[in-house]
Chain A
Amino acid sequence: MSSRIDSMFQFHQAALNLRAARQELMASNIANADTPNYKARDIDFASALQGAMSESGPKLAMAGTTNRHLSGATGDTVLGSPVLYRTVVQPSADGNTVDMDVERAQFADNALRYEASVKFVSEKGKDVLAALQG
């Protein structure tokens, strides 16, 4: 029975974790808005959530027989999904790719969606309670 309740919350748990991780990436972008050669980063939320919800688990690692073989890893990952770099709209002279308008908009958007997910979890909890108490 408990696994049934678990699976009810699993989706929102994954969504909240991903939103929090994405919020952290946006915060890094905003903090590094003036750092030369910093590249703005983000995750593809839709595919990250799909990956977190799918049963397939992590992809097979490439086998290497010598330390000169490439590992096949593509860099940083957030909860199993790769961290991507933003496409530059207006390149700057110091190699920094943080566009403050984009970052602030995405930050606000992500914060609102996080709050929405929190609301969904709360309401779901109330639903379960109502069903249990009759």
Chain B
Amino acid sequence: MSLFNIFNIAGSGMTAQSQRLNVVASNLANAESTTGPDGQPYHAKQVVFSTTSFEGQPGAGVKVDSVVEDASPMRIVYDPKHPMADANGYLTLPNVNPVDEMVNMISASRSYQNNVDVMNTSKALLLKTLTIGQ
């Protein structure tokens, strides 16, 4: 039944958006991380969404296809006193753009709310359907 499938669709949207929010949180938390487990500065990450279809249904959900590393250049600052600075005194900082991440965060939270609304509406409609004949 179509209305039940909406729970799957909106649920997939909520999962995808929360993963996006997770990546935003990771990027913002590591905006100044000059070193990681591999000794390299943190690289900003971005999620890639793709459409998933449920077999036999025209409706389509969404999933996080992959998490890719941001290709933008790393920030280089001159700070010879820093322990992680190279021989010339330059320090490599993560390519996290806090403005981009805040925009991403707001967009993800709005999309999440939209999916929650969709789910609530579908639940209300299903409950209404159960009252037929009463």
Contact = CB atoms under 8 A, between A and B. Distances in A.
Interface string A106-134: 01100100110010011001000000000
Nearest to B50: A35
Q: Tell me if B's interface is mostly helix, strand, loop or mixed.
A: helix
Q: Tell me if A's interface is mostly helix, strand, loop or mixed.
A: helix
Nearest to B133: A125
B25 interface: no
Given A32-B51, A115-B125, A23 B2 contact: yes
A28 interface: yes
Interface in B45-96: 48-51, 57-62
Interface in B84-119: 107-108, 111, 114-115, 117-118
B5 interface: yes
Given A24-B3, A27-B9, A32 B58 contact: no
A77 to B, nearest CB: 7
Interface in A22-64: 23-28, 30-36, 38, 41
A118 B128 contact: yes
Contacts of B61: 28, 31-32
Contacts, number: 104
Interface of B: 1-3, 5-6, 9-10, 12-13, 16-17, 20, 48-51, 57-62, 107-108, 111, 114-115, 117-118, 121-122, 124-125, 128-129, 131-134
19 contacts: A20-B2, A23-B2, A23-B3, A24-B2, A24-B6, A25-B58, A27-B118, A28-B9, A30-B114, A32-B13, A32-B60, A33-B111, A34-B107, A34-B111, A76-B58, A83-B58, A108-B121, A111-B125, A121-B132
Interface of A: 16-17, 20-21, 23-28, 30-36, 38, 41, 76-78, 83, 100, 104, 107-108, 111, 114-115, 118, 121-122, 125
Closest 9 CB pairs of A and B: A31-B13, A20-B2, A24-B59, A35-B49, A28-B59, A24-B2, A27-B6, A27-B9, A28-B60
